[in-house]
Amino acid sequence: MKNTTITLDGHSLTRGQLVLIARGDASVALDEAQLVRVQRAADFLAEKVRCGEPIYGVTTGFGSNADKLLGAHRARDELPGGNPDAPQGTLLEELQHNLVITHAVCVGEPFGADVVRAMLAIRINTLMRGHSGIRASTLKALAELLNRDVVPVIPQKGSVGASGDLAPLSHLAIVLLGGGEAFHGGERVGGAEALRRAGLEPVRLSFKEGLALNNGTAQMLACGVLALDRLETLVATADLAASMTLDAFAGRTSAFKPEVHALRPHPGQVETAARIRALLDGSTLADIAYHLVPRFKTWLADAWSDAEDQKRHFDIAWDWVPASQRHGREAFYQRFLPFKGGKKHQPQDAYCLRCMPQVHGAVRDAIAQAARVLDVELNAVTDNPLVFPDAENATVIEDQVISAGHFHGMPLALAMSYVKAAIPVLASISERRLNKLVDPATNDGLPAFLIGNEDATDSGFMIVQYTAAALVNDLATRAHPASVYSVPTSANAEDHVSMGANEARHVLEMTEDLAHVLAMELYTAAQALDYRQDMLNAARRLAQRGDWRALAAKIANAPEATHPARAQFEGEVQALAKALVEARDFQAGPAVRAAHATIRERIGFMTRDRAMDGDVKAICDLVASGELVR
């Protein structure tokens, strides 16, 4: 249900507005003042044609046929036979008609309706600038396709990004002529039938209208805008996943302090550090003292003496550090009690945790650069030639109808290649955090593969990391920039092309796999966070009973009752118990807790191996919806 109307004037379309149109949440209206300018350019062309002026793409052929002037009548009428499908009208009209029908040659699966609606809106908006020579009536008909839910079938492959997206835009325009195919009401039908169902009539093209309709960067721009809309949500999702993972590690936050990032103030880096600080705000897991964190120990039937504790699916343990092993570390043991549990005694986390601002931030900067380019392109004129009916001091037609190269997609292509390289970077650091969570050598005291595995029959989250690794590899192999490899076209008249349509299409496709990798991390981090919180709070409740001997039973290396160090050990165990009792409940910050609770509404904690395909689908759907970020 369209609940808003966006007025297109060629000057003020935003990415947010385009996304609304693409999703079918907004209809379009055409600015009346700009329609006057549109018609002014069309009338100007008509007058010049009547005067016999040679104009590229109007009274000449296209591309390598630009040196061929159209005659007064059809030479082929004098040839034997005839073409019963030839359009009625003048050669000038036939030129525009043929341009569209012969260029609609894309292959592959059709673009989604969101991409096609975005292409329609982009094409309408650029034509509204009044420099393309299209008639106001034709432009209104194009807008009606959008507003009456006629979605042209546009196969995904066939554009080289110069002269613009000729082939896909021809698939868009051919429906306006009553050809091709379109979806209407979700049903795929012939173009003429789609028009009939929508109450529309086919259009007969006039001077330069075919060229105005199919000469531009609408496909690459539509894919780019929709990709960035997804990526802006996904980079925020990455921050959330990373924060949940850091809480699950009981990690360190000093690397995110504002004074740190003021020394290297890349905008994305500064923003990411601030976001992570906000997500971790209120956490009692981050920056926890080393000695408070127990390590996982496999559950046994006699692991707990209390009836309530016996319901647990884990045991906990620490190692005591005797005085003889503290030499040279006296300052450390003045701050921390001499117990080794899950946390390693080191002042910094691995890169995948510590360098999140630098990595996520660099991805944010790549997205921001692409957004700057796309924002310019949204309100640019991208066809050729450009019509300047009011040009001052014009002495020849070439001063008012100027052949240029605004159709060339290289600005978009290079911006998209930057983003294309950034996507596997964000996926890769996410997979490294996931891997760190499941590996007992690196997960700081959590169970191997995040499962109890008492009977050695459980794989836990082992294969989740495999899937993430496969996705990261696939993303990396697709990250090669298409824009560096030009293949000349049109008999070398178009001897350098951008391949921007491939670039933007790849980026849009890659966002889905990036979302899946982030979903895998969130799925795994939620399990790890449960283990970390439950183990810490179990230790705290054990200490709250006031029986330091029960806590001491969880500590290895305890000296015998007659050993000289026994008194020191007992005193330090009592100090550990006191520290645990005085600590607040161990939990993630409110933001991470809210996301974790949302995951748990759909996916339960896994105490034993179970079928995980439903879990994986649920977490992927949750990430795709954007609900976790909201």
Q: DSSP letters of 492-542?
A: GTB-----HHHHHHHHHHHHHHHHHHHHHHHHHHHHHHHHHHHHHHHHHHH
How far apart (Å, rounded) are the C-alpha atoms in residues 241 and 525?
A: 7
The mean per-residue pLDDT over the stretch 580-603 comes to 96
Classify strands 401-402 and 386-387 as parallel, antiparallel or unpaired.
antiparallel
Q: d(Cα 182, Cα 149) in Å, to the nearest integer?
A: 10
Asked if the structure places residue 404 within a domain, the reply is no
In the chain, the amino acid numbered 539 is A
Supply the pTM of this predicted model: 0.94
Q: Does the residue 398 lie in any domain?
A: no
Q: Are 385 and 55 in contact (CB under 8 A)?
A: yes
Do 523 and 569 reside in the same domain of the chain? Answer: yes
Under DSSP, is residue 347 helix (H, G, I), strand (E, B) or coil?
A: coil
Q: DSSP string of 291-344?
A: GG--EEE---TTS-SSTTGGG-S-EEEEEE--GGG-TT-HHHHHHS-SEE-SS-
Tell me the CA distances in angstroms from 92 to 95, 210, 375, 591, 594, one per residue in order: 5, 11, 35, 63, 64
Following DSSP, what letter does each residue of 589-618 receive, concatenated? Answer: -HHHHHHHHHHHHHS---SS----HHHHHH
Is the separation of the CB atoms in 273 and 256 below 8 Å? yes
How confident is the model at residue 202, as a pLDDT?
97
> Which residues are known catalytic residues?
56, 103, 215, 351, 354, 407, 494
pLDDT at residue 3, rounded to an integer: 80
Give the pLDDT confidence score for residue 371 in this predicted structure: 98
Question: Which amino acid is residue 485, in one-letter code?
Answer: Y
Of 216, 246, 279, which one is at a domain's C-terminal end? 216
Would the pLDDT of 78 be above 70? no
**Domain shared by 258 and 144, yes or no:** no
Indicate whether 106 and 148 sit together in one domain: yes
* Same domain for 168 and 38: yes
Tens of pLDDT, residues 472-494: 999 999 999 988 888 888 877 77
Residue 414 clears pLDDT 80, i.e. is over it: yes
Per-residue confidence band for 90, with pLDDT thresholds at 50, 70 and 90: confident
Q: Once rounded to an integer, what is the mean pLDDT over residues 318-336?
A: 93
- Same structural domain for residues 194 and 293? no
Q: Write the DSSP string, 546-586.
A: T-HHHHHTTEETPPPTTSTTHHHHHHHHHHHHHHHHHSPPP
Number of domain units in the chain? 2
pLDDT of res. 79: 57
pLDDT digits (tens, 9 = 90+) for 279-301: 999 999 999 999 999 999 999 98
Distance of alpha carbon 608 from alpha carbon 507, whole angstroms: 38
pLDDT tops 70 at residue 75: no
Asked whether the beta carbons of 123 and 18 are under 8 A apart, the reply is no
pLDDT average, residue stretch 49-78: 71
Joined tokens for residue 237: 């999702």
**What pLDDT score was predicted for residue 468?**
98
270 and 176 belong to one structural domain = no
To the nearest whole percent, how much of the chain has pLDDT over 70? 96
- For 200-227, the pLDDT digits (tens) are 999 999 989 999 999 999 999 999 999 9
Identify whether residues 323 and 440 lie together within a single domain. Answer: yes
Model pLDDT for residues 122-149, shown as the tens digit of each residue? 999 999 999 999 999 999 999 999 999 9
The verdict on 204 and 261 lying in the same domain is no
As a whole number of angstroms, the distance between CA 618 and CA 599 comes to 9
- Same domain for 244 and 313, yes or no, is yes
Residue 519 belongs to a domain with what CATH number?
1.20.200.10
Residue 223 lies in a domain: no
| Sole residue written with tokens 């630098």 | 358
Q: Phi and psi of 26, rounded to 5°?
A: -150, 145
User: If you average pLDDT over residues 175-200, what whole number do you get?
Assistant: 97
- CATH number, domain containing residue 116: 1.10.275.10
Average model confidence (pLDDT) for the chain? 93
Average pLDDT over residues 141-169: 95
Q: What pLDDT digit, counting tens, does each position of 516-570 carry?
A: 999 999 999 999 999 999 999 999 999 999 889 999 999 999 999 999 999 999 9
pLDDT of amino acid 1: 55
Regarding whether 477 and 331 lie in a shared domain, the answer is yes
Inside any domain, residue 380: no
406 within 8 A of 364, measured Cβ to Cβ = no
- Quick: pLDDT tens for 431-461: 999 999 999 999 999 999 999 999 999 999 9
Report which residue type is found at 559. Answer: P
- H or E element in which residue 110 lies: strand 107-110
**Are residues 119 and 234 both part of a single domain?**
no
Answer with the one of 216, 237, 254 that is the final residue of a domain.
Answer: 216
CB neighbours of residue 403 within 10 Å: 12
**Residue count (the chain):** 630
**Residue 170: domain span:** 4-76+88-216
In this structure, are residues 400 and 44 in contact, taking their beta carbons and an 8 Å threshold? yes
304 φ/ψ angles, rounded to the nearest 5 degrees: -130, 140
Percent of the chain having pLDDT more than 90? 80
In a domain, 377, yes or no: no
The answer as to whether 300 is a domain residue is: yes
What would the mean pLDDT of 586-592 be, rounded to a whole number?
96
Listed residues 216, 244, 277: the one ending a domain: 216
Predicted confidence band of residue 58 (pLDDT cuts 50, 70, 90) = confident
* Residue 104 backbone class (left: φ over 0; alpha: ψ -120 to 50; beta: rest): beta
**DSSP assignment of 214-256:** HSSSHHHHHHHHHHHHHHHHHHHHHHHHHHHHHHHHT---GGG
Residue 71 clears pLDDT 70, i.e. is over it: no
CA 357-602-435 angle, to 5 degrees, is 40
Residue 288 lies in a domain: yes
DSSP 489: B
Residue with tokens 């997500």: 279
**Residues 209 and 274 placed together within one structural domain of the fold:** no
Whether the predicted pLDDT of 83 surpasses 70: no
Distances (CA, A) of 272 to 249, 368, 588: 19, 13, 19
**CB distance 630 to 317 below 8 Å:** no
Q: Are 345 and 290 in contact (CB under 8 A)?
A: yes
- Is 630 contained in some domain? no
| Alpha-carbon span 568 to 322, nearest angstrom | 9
